[in-house]
């Protein structure tokens, strides 16, 4: 029975880790705290938006992208978490509401996707070891996913400044 209680405790701690990820990702003010959720050599793989290795790259990505957002809200749900000693895996569904800055004013977007994650426990604290984030669509609020499944989330200038235009 003790093993099951420990497993449930670990799952709850991993849920808390993910909640902190969302809280910090949505604040725009906690680059250090966000990066601190990851192992020193962790990988944050955001597909076409980049792969970031290590806390410093993750911190720098956070600082570079946030000036282009005026609102960001990550909603994660349906966790499937498997714990195996000091290692664990997790799958999450994502719904993200955000607004980005454009020359003509802010634009609102819906995004839906998933996270696939690996965690490591160090001294009774869970950290992200590898996070894969993918979106099924990221559409303008006004159009919806049926009409425009992928809109221009960032302005052309932002894409160029972030090196995402090529």
- Position 166 scores a pLDDT of 61
Element (H, E) at 45: strand 38-45
Other CB atoms closer than 10 Å to residue 38's CB: what's the count? 25
Whole-angstrom CA distances from 115 to 1, 23, 73 are 30, 16, 15
Secondary structure (DSSP) of 55-103: HHHHHHHHHHHGGGEEEEEEEEEEEEEEEETTEEEEEEEEEEEEEE--T
CATH number of 2-161: 3.10.450.50
> What is the pLDDT confidence band of residue 156, given thresholds at 50, 70 and 90?
confident
The rounded radius of gyration (Å) of the Cα atoms in the chain is 17
Confidence class for position 163, pLDDT limits 50, 70, 90: confident
Would the pLDDT of 159 be above 90?
no
Q: How far is the C-alpha of 34 from the C-alpha of 22, rounded, in Å?
A: 9
pLDDT, tens digit, 9 for 90 and up, residues 45-64? 999 889 999 999 999 999 99
Mean pLDDT (the chain) is 94
Distance (Å, whole) CA 24 – CA 50: 19
d(CA 81, CA 8): 10
- pLDDT of 1 reads 76
Query: In 3-state terms, what secondary structure has residue 7?
Result: helix
> Quick one: pLDDT at residue 133?
97
pLDDT one-digit tens code per residue, 75-89: 999 999 999 999 999
């Amino acid at each position: 029975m003790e093993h099951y209680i420990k497993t449930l405790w670990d799952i709850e701690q991993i849920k808390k880790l993910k909640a902190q990820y969302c809280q910090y990702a949505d604040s725009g003010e906690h680059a250090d705290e966000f990066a601190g959720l990851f192992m020193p050599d962790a990988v944050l793989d955001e597909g076409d938006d980049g792969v970031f290795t290590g806390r410093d790259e993750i911190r720098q990505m956070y600082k570079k992208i946030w000036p282009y957002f005026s609102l960001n809200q990550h909603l994660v749900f349906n966790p499937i978490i498997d714990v195996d000693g000091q290692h664990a895996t997790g799958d999450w569904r994502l719904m993200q509401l955000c607004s980005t800055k454009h020359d003509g004013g802010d634009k609102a977007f819906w995004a839906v996707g998933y996270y696939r994650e690996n965690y490591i426990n160090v001294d009774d604290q869970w950290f992200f070891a590898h996070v894969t984030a993918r979106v099924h669509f990221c559409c303008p609020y006004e159009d919806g996913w049926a009409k425009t499944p992928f809109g221009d989330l960032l302005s052309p200038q932002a894409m160029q400044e972030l090196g995402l235009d090529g």
